[in-house]
Amino acid sequence: MNPQQYVQEKAAASGSSFYYAFLFMPEQRRQAITAFYAFCREIDDVVDEVTDPGVAHTKLAWWRSELSKAFAGEASHPVTKALIPHVQAFGIPEAPLRSVIDGCEMDLSQTRYLDYPNLQRYCHLVAGVVGEVAARIFGQTQSATTDYAHKLGQALQLTNILRDVGEDAMRGRIYLPVNELQQFDVKANEILERKHSDRFVALMRFQSERAHGLYDEALALLPAEDRRAQKPGLMMASIYRTLLREIERDNFQVLHQRVALTPLRKFWLAWKMQALGRM
């Protein structure tokens, strides 16, 4: 299996909504974003699948070393071999790739966030900088598009957090800010024990309104000159915002199930943005 096949299989196997946004891209850009997405998946899998934190730290240290070697022309992993040929073409720096590792590594030692600014920093590292790199690959021409990408990344990540409250609880993680749990009188152990309540629904509704606000802010920040080039990101916004509305419609039943859109619906939402330019 060559590097291109490896990253393609990595992206397709994840079942992520990102995959549907890639389908409509020109070949070179699709190869670049697929390789970058596969890199993000590799890092995320270290944290989610390695049960020993010491081993996970060692693996992430290896990835940092691999990045340094890859940017020096000595890539050894299929993912970096697939990604590095696109670095110059799309102006992808090493720093945001390292930020992704830093953000994922936070999950090994931090299972709570005291307030929203602390959660924002995490979301920026694991999603905002991902949006920044993706925007470059999509064809960014305006500097203001970076601000849009950062904001959209935060909106997507917060949607992920709301979808995965139950799954994260089973790993002992609570991403909802501690001071906001206190504000809505939701105890941490209620989430860890996955107890649904009216107080939990109120807390989640507060979070979902914040996420909608982030989507609105992101769209307002996108320069008109880059709207066409950034359609893949807008596809993601459409898919994830639809998912957020499904979570709301289901009264935030996320503690015992994973709310998801069907592949056909994701494809339809992506196609609608590509062909009609609307969500």
pLDDT tens across 60-78, in order?
Answer: 999 999 999 999 999 999 9
Residue 39 and residue 83 in contact, taking contact as beta carbons nearer than 8 Å: yes
Residues 222 and 265 in one domain: yes
**Which of 76, 109, 142 finishes a domain?**
109
pLDDT tens for residues 46-65?
Answer: 988 878 889 999 999 999 99
Rounded to two decimals, the pTM is 0.92
Q: Please determine, for residue 278, whether its predicted confidence score (pLDDT) is greater than 70.
A: no
Residues 127 and 211 in one domain: yes
CATH, residue 67: 1.10.600.10
Residues 124 and 242 in one domain: yes
**Which of 74, 109, 144 finishes a domain?**
109
pLDDT tens for residues 21-53?
Answer: 888 889 999 999 999 999 999 999 998 887 888
Closest CA to 169 of 107, 105, 111, 240: 111
Instruction: Name the pLDDT band for 213 (thresholds 50, 70, 90).
Output: very high
Residue 234 and residue 155 in contact, taking contact as beta carbons nearer than 8 Å: no
Residue 261 and residue 243 in contact, taking contact as beta carbons nearer than 8 Å: yes
Residues 135 and 43 in one domain: no
As a whole number, mean pLDDT of residues 105-112 equals 91
Total count of domains within the chain: 2
Residues 62 and 197 in one domain: no
- Residue 66 has a pLDDT of 96
Closest CA to 220 of 163, 272, 147, 162: 147
Q: DSSP code of 128?
A: I
Residues 14 and 42 in one domain: yes
Residues 234 and 135 in one domain: yes
- Residue 15 has a pLDDT of 63
Count of other CB atoms within 10 angstroms of residue 119: 21
**Which of 109, 127, 157 finishes a domain?**
109
Residue 175 and residue 203 in contact, taking contact as beta carbons nearer than 8 Å: no
Residues 261 and 143 in one domain: yes
Residues 96 and 121 in one domain: no
Structural domain for 197, as ranges = 114-278
Residues 144 and 192 in one domain: yes
Closest CA to 174 of 246, 186, 183: 186
